[in-house]
């Protein structure tokens, strides 16, 4: 039997409502004359429905009391009033009430409204709890998760905030996802967002930008969901910048190994020797380990044009470039392969010998 609280300051009308409700099979757990008492009664006895007059005695009118009851107790409220003025009805609508009955009312009208209010509120509560459970799932997910609706970012978890390099959700929520995607990848994203028919969405990768415009490569796992009872996309974002940088570097090492003549040298942005192989050492033949030394301090053993190296790093090109190295015995014609870090910045140059010309033969 569903429990009802009647809030009405007119004793005669309150008695009529009580008779109607008993005939309809409801259990009346109490009758109140003012909003404050109604709120306390709801906190104590948790009715299933509240039947609320609007013009009440005391500090709270019926609409104010209903807002408190729904916010603090999650109990549906049906208004009963003879007042049909625009301002009052509008306030009642915005209070998220579950019905508005105009006095005088019939028992049948009351019964139908009570049933509709009960089941609509139950559906609303179930949906709210499902959404809260879903939010909890996203918040605790082991990867960055974001919800996109109509192209706009509506929600994201803490790992996604870390991915976008901000601590503040308001920096991201409410903005267009396209604003954080590199121009080259926008058509790919838009095709996914526009596709309403595919049951499954294949994982795809994007290059996105952080809140401070730093590039990141991510693999996206997308699925369709309902968010706030409307269609949306759930995106799981896995950063692959480091992985893709390693893949790119391996490709360049492979190309260098297949096309080079054997000697290899690696130089960093500070123009220091990071590594080299024995074949390169044979051409240079220094009396010490060159690792950690600037190439410009080793001119007795090898000479590389400083401007050419600086241009390679400044241009941040992805293509291989020609580099000439002069040693005491040879002129080495080499190819330089740019190796980028996971931020897409030029980090090292892989120098591979293509041809060695002895100085004696050149003369």
DSSP secondary structure code for residue 57 in this structure: B
Residue 98 zone, left/alpha/beta (φ > 0; ψ -120 to 50; rest)? alpha
Q: Helix axis angle, 35-45 relative to 62-73, nearest 10°?
A: 20
- Tens digits of residue pLDDT in 53-106: 999 988 899 999 999 999 899 999 999 999 999 999 999 989 888 999 999 999
pLDDT of residue 47: 95
On the question of pLDDT at 361 being above 70, the answer is: no
pLDDT of residue 322: 87
On the question of pLDDT at 343 being above 80, the answer is: no
CATH superfamily of 3-136: Response regulator (3.40.50.2300)
- Name the band, by pLDDT with cuts 50, 70 and 90, for residue 261: confident
Q: CA-CA distance, 161 to 60, in Å (whole number)?
A: 42
Q: Are the beta carbons of 114 and 103 closer than 8 angstroms? A: no
Q: Convert 218-252 to b/e letters by CB count within 10 Å (16 or more is b).
A: bbbbbeeeebeeeebbbbbbebbbeebbeebbeeb
pLDDT of residue 182: 92
DSSP secondary structure code for residue 296 in this structure: G
Q: Which residue intervals of the chain bear CATH 3.30.450.20?
A: 141-239, 243-362
pLDDT of residue 76: 94
Q: CA-CA distance, 356 to 280, in Å (whole number)?
A: 11
Q: Which residue carries 């996914």 as its tokens?
A: 192
* Least confident window among 155-169, 177-191, 342-356: 342-356
Mean pLDDT throughout 298-322? Answer: 79
Mean pLDDT throughout 321-344? Answer: 87
Nearest to 172 by CA among 211, 204, 205, 202: 211
Reduced to 3 states (helix: H, G, I; strand: E, B; else coil), residue 246 is: helix
Q: CA-CA distance, 153 to 176, in Å (whole number)?
A: 6
- Name the band, by pLDDT with cuts 50, 70 and 90, for residue 198: low
Q: What is the mean pLDDT of the chain?
A: 88
Q: What is the distance of C-alpha 110 from the center of its chain?
A: 46
**DSSP state string for 105-141:** --HHHHHHHHHHHHHHHHHHHHHHHHHHHHHHHHHH-
In the CATH hierarchy, which fold is given to the domain comprising 141-239? Beta-Lactamase (3.30.450)
CATH top class, domain 243-362: alpha beta
Q: Which residue intervals of the chain bear CATH 3.40.50.2300?
A: 3-136
On the question of pLDDT at 257 being above 90, the answer is: no
- Tens digits of residue pLDDT in 228-250: 878 899 999 999 988 888 888 88
- Tens digits of residue pLDDT in 262-281: 899 999 989 999 999 999 99
Mean pLDDT throughout 284-296? Answer: 89
């Amino acid at each position: 039997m569903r429990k009802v609280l009647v809030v009405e300051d007119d004793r005669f009308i309150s008695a009529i409502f009580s008779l109607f409700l008993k005939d309809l099979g409801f259990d009346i757990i109490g009758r109140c004359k003012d909003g404050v008492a109604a709120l306390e009664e709801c906190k104590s006895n948790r009715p299933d429905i509240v039947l609320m007059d609007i013009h009440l005695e005391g500090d709270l009118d019926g609409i104010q009391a209903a807002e408190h009851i729904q916010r603090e107790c999650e109990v549906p409220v049906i208004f009963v009033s003879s007042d049909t003025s625009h301002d009052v009805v509008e306030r009642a609508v915005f209070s998220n009430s579950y019905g508005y009955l105009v006095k005088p009312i019939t028992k049948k009208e009351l019964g139908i409204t009570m049933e509709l209010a009960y089941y609509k509120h139950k559906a609303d509560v179930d949906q709210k709890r499902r959404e809260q459970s879903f939010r909890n799932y996203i918040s605790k997910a082991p990867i960055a998760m974001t919800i996109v609706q109509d192209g706009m970012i509506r929600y994201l978890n803490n790992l996604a905030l870390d991915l976008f390099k901000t601590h503040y959700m308001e920096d991201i929520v409410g903005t267009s996802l396209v604003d954080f995607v590199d121009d080259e990848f926008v058509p790919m994203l838009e095709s996914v967002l526009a596709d309403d028919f595919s049951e499954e969405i294949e994982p795809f990768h994007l290059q996105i930008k952080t809140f401070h415009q730093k590039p990141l490569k991510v693999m996206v796992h997308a699925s369709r969901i309902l968010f706030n009872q409307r269609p949306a996309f759930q995106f799981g974002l896995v950063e692959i910048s480091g992985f893709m940088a390693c893949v790119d570097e391996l490709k360049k090492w492979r190309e260098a190994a297949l096309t080079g003549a054997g000697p290899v040298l690696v130089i960093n942005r500070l123009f220091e020797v990071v590594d080299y192989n024995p074949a390169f050492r044979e051409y240079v033949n220094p009396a010490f380990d060159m690792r950690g030394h600037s190439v410009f301090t080793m001119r007795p053993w090898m000479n590389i044009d400083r401007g050419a190296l600086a241009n390679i790093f400044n241009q941040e090109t992805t293509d291989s470039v020609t580099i000439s190295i002069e040693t005491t015995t040879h002129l080495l014609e080499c190819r330089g392969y740019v190796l980028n870090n996971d931020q897409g910045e030029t980090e090292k140059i892989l120098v591979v010998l293509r041809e060695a010309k002895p100085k004696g033969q050149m003369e």
